[in-house]
Amino acid sequence: MPEALSSTQRSTKADSEDPVLKEIVRHLIQNFSGRVTLLAVCPNSEAVTRAALAASLEASAPMLFAATLNQVDREGSYTGWTPESFVRFVENESERIGLSTPPLVCLDHGGPWLKDHHTTAGLTLDETMEEVRRSLEACIDAGYALLHIDATIDRTLPEDSPIPIELVVERTLDLIQHAERYRNDRRMPPISYEVGTEEVHGGLADMSVFEAFLSGLDAGLRELGLHDRWPCFVVGKVGTDLDTTLFDPAMAARLTRRVKPYGALIKGHYSDYVENPHEYPLSEMGGANVGPEFTEEEFRALENLLRLERLLEKRSGFEVALKDAVLESGRWKKWLKPHERGSAFSALTEERQYWLLRTCSRYIWTHPAVQDARVDLYHNVKDYRKGDQYVVWWIKNCIMKYLHAFNLVEFNREPGYPDRAERRQPAGA
C-alpha cells in the first residue's frame, strides 16, 4: 500500500458505518442546525494551505481542503502536488505546527471535462470519463475524506446548452459506483460524497431540475445497492458565482429543506469575497468553498512586499517574472469575456490586465522563474519583513474572517463533535 494510507483522513470504523464527513454532517443536522457552516479552502498554493492549517490551529476549528483536478492530480497539476504528496504535505505541516484535529482533504469538481487538460486535449466522453476514474482512484489511495462527483459538463453539446438531467444522474452514479468498487476491492475505509454544481450550464439552477436530480440520484443509488453512500453535500446555486458576491439565504434555506430528508446539507461554491458570510449558518448551509480569494490575497501580500522593496530601492524582478509566467501559461485566456476573446493581453484595459494577473497567479506560483524571483524578493526585504511568514499571516487573517462568520471558532471543542483521533490509521492497520 502507498505511504499515504496512514493519512489522517482514514477511518477505522466498520465499512457499514458512516465515514467521517457524513458523520460530521449528521452531527450538524442533529445538534447545530442553523448555527454552523463548514469551511473548505481550495489549496491553490503552499502558502494558502499552510495559512489554512495555521487558522485551524488558532481557531480550534475544523478545516476542509477542496482540491480541484487542475490543482492536484496524478501528474501534479499546477501546484505540483499529486493526491498522495498533497495529503503527505498536509499531514507533515499539521504535525509541525501541532494541529491535533486532522484536516479533511476533499476532491472538488471531479467529473468529465472539469480539468483544463480534458478540454485542451480534445478528449471524447469515454476518454475523459476514464481519466476521471483514474483520478478518483488516486484520491481514494491517498486517503481523501470526500469526493465531489460533478457530471454537469458535456463538451459534446453546443456551448451553453444544458446537459439533460438524466445524463447528469447517469454519469454521477457511474462515477460513484466505480469509486465504491475500487474502494471495496482495495479494502479501504468508507468515503463521503458531494454531488452537483452551482453552475447554470449544469442545469441544477432550476428547482424542478434540482428535484429531478435528487429523485433520480436516490432511485439510482437504491438500485445499485449504494443507498448508504448517499452524498452528505449537494452543491446548490445560492446566489454567488464568478461575478456576484451576495449570498441568497432564502434560496439556501429552501434547498436545505429539500436535501435534509436524505441526510445531506447544501454546499455553496464561489463563496469568495461574499458580502454576507454570517448568513450562511443562519440558513443552515452545510459548507462553503472559498478558493480564488485566498490566492488573490497571496498576490496582494506580495504586492505589499514589492512596495517595501521599491522603498528600499531594490529590485527582485518578481513583477516581471509573474506576468511573463501568466502569459506563458495561456490560462488567462480561459477567463476572457466573450467580447475579449481573440484579443492580445496588451490590448485589454489596464483594469482587466490587473484582474487577470491577480486571478491567474494561482497557476504559476510553482513556475521556476517566479519561485526564484520570490526568493530574491524575500531576501531584499528580510531586514524589515519576514516575507514567507508575512504572506502566510496575511492569508490566515482572511481565512479567520470565514471561521468567525461561520461560527467555527472553538468548534473542535464542542461536546459531541466527532472524535477523529482514532482515525489516524487505515482500517486493518
Give the model's pLDDT for residue 205.
55
Q: Mean pLDDT, 10 residues at a time, over the chain (429 residues)?
A: 34 59 94 95 97 97 97 94 98 96 95 93 95 98 97 88 90 98 96 80 65 95 96 92 87 95 94 95 96 95 98 97 97 94 96 96 97 98 97 98 97 74 37
34: left (phi over 0), alpha (psi -120 to 50) or beta: left
pLDDT of residue 424: 37
Q: Residue 10: what pLDDT? A: 39
Of residues 271, 216, 213, 262, the one with CA closest to residue 238: 271
Q: Which of 45, 146, 55 lies closest to 99 in space, CA to CA? A: 55
**Side-chain half-sphere exposure of 113, counting CA atoms within 13 A:** 16
Cα distances from 410 to residues 61, 173, 403, in angstroms, run 6, 37, 10
In this prediction, residue 366 carries a pLDDT of 96
Q: What's the pLDDT score for residue 190?
A: 95
Q: What is the pLDDT of residue 198?
A: 58
The fold of the 3-292+398-424 domain, in CATH, is TIM Barrel (3.20.20)
Q: Is 23 within 8 Å of 418 (Cβ atoms)? A: yes
In this structure, what C-alpha cell is assigned to residue 365? 506560483
How open is the CA angle 423-150-252, to the nearest 5 degrees? Answer: 85
CA angle (67 as vertex; 61, 68 as ends), nearest 5:
150
Cell of 382: 528580510
Give the largest Cα separation in the chain, rounded.
Answer: 69
Residue matched to cell numbers 457511474: 174
Phi, psi of 105 (to 5 degrees): -90, 130
CB atoms within 10 A of CB 214: 21
* 149: its cell numbers: 462527483
Residues forming a β-bridge with 192: 146
CA distance 429 to 419: 19
Q: How far is CA 270 from the centre of its chain?
A: 10
Distance CA 314, CA 156 (A): 52
pLDDT tens, position by position, 95-154: 999 998 899 999 999 999 999 999 999 999 999 999 999 999 999 999 999 999 999 999
The domain locations on the chain are: 3-292+398-424, 295-394
Q: Is 104 helix (H, G, I), strand (E, B) or coil?
A: strand
Please give the pLDDT value at position 129: 97
Structure confidence by residue, pLDDT tens digits, 297-320: 999 999 999 999 999 999 999 999
Burial class from Cβ neighbours inside 10 Å (0-12, 13-18, 19+) for residue 333 reads middle
Residue 246's contacts (CB-CB under 8 Å, 6 or more residues apart) are 239, 240, 274, 275, 276
